[in-house]
Amino acid sequence: GQQVMQIPQYQHVQEGEDFTTYCNSSTTLSNIQWYKQRPGGHPVFLIQLVKSGEVKKQKRLTFQFGEAKKNSSLHITATQTTDVGTYFCAGPWGYQKVTFGTGTKLQVIP
Amino acid sequence: DTGVSQNPRHKITKRGQNVTFRCDPISEHNRLYWYRQTLGQGPEFLTYFQNEAQLEKSRLLSDRFSAERPKGSFSTLEIQRTEQGDSAMYLCASSLALQGLDTEAFFGQGTRLTVV
């Protein structure tokens, strides 16, 4: 079955440093979504990527969808303590089972 | 509150008992998903509905699990003869599918099940 892996599993950064998490799928994805889950909370939608090579930005967050639509990345510039949480990629959304990635837990040291 | 609502928030049950959880999605959303999440893991897909039709069910789900969405609105997830391995957070999400493409999924707060 489809597998979605994320690396790294954990990342500790000093506040102000950049952070990147990578998502790799064993199969081609028609689309992918990114979610953030705060400790003790539920996943909250961040963005959806659909097109090959797509890049989207939300303030300090930059999302990329690979050309082959099998990988994706999330980059955070100048992390803040509010960025703490676990970031998941998930896909494909549509008439199919949705698989969540293994997640990257981000800790920001003030 | 117009978000996704799940009840109960917490459930402690003895092994072998049956439990039922309820999810009320955002009213105009036609898709509803059930996930299970254990500590330190990502949400694991259980099943999903398009309106009242159950379109897919995880092969990981045993026959002890059943889900319904009778009128295409709220959904229930029942676990029969609970086992300790069923202890987890059960998450419900809903979304609006337009021409086959999902928009963002909104998650409820989850129901935390503890089987003792």
The residue with greater pLDDT, A49 or A1, is: A49
Q: Which residue of chain B has the CA closest to A5?
A: B42
Q: Quote the CA–CA distance of B70 and A17 in Å, as a whole number.
A: 50
Q: Quote the CA–CA distance of A15 and A109 in Å, as a whole number.
A: 6
Residue A70: Cβ within 10 Å count: 16
Of the residues B38, B51, B101, the best mutation for testing chain A's interface (the one with the most A CB atoms within 10 Å of its CB) is B101
Report CA-CA distances (Å) from B75 to A8, A24, A49, A95, B7: 35, 32, 28, 19, 11
pLDDT band at A95 (very low <50, low <70, confident <90, very high): low
**pLDDT tens for residues B29-54?**
999 999 999 998 999 999 999 999 99
pLDDT band at A64 (very low <50, low <70, confident <90, very high): very high
Q: Quote the CA–CA distance of A48 and B97 in Å, as a whole number.
A: 13
Element (H, E) at B103: none
Q: Name the 3-class secondary structure at B84.
A: helix
DSSP B12-51: EE-TT--EEEEEE--TT--EEEEEEE-TTS--EEEEEEET
In the predicted model, what is the mean pLDDT of chain B? 92
Residue type, A7: I
Note whether A89 and A34 are within 8 A (CB).
Answer: yes
**Average pLDDT of span A50-78:** 97
Q: Tell me if B43 and A43 make a contact (CB, 8 A cut-off).
A: yes
Q: What angle do CA B86, B102, B77 make, to 5 degrees?
A: 25
Phi, psi of B76 (to 5 degrees): -125, 145
Q: Which residue of chain B has the CA closest to A95?
A: B100
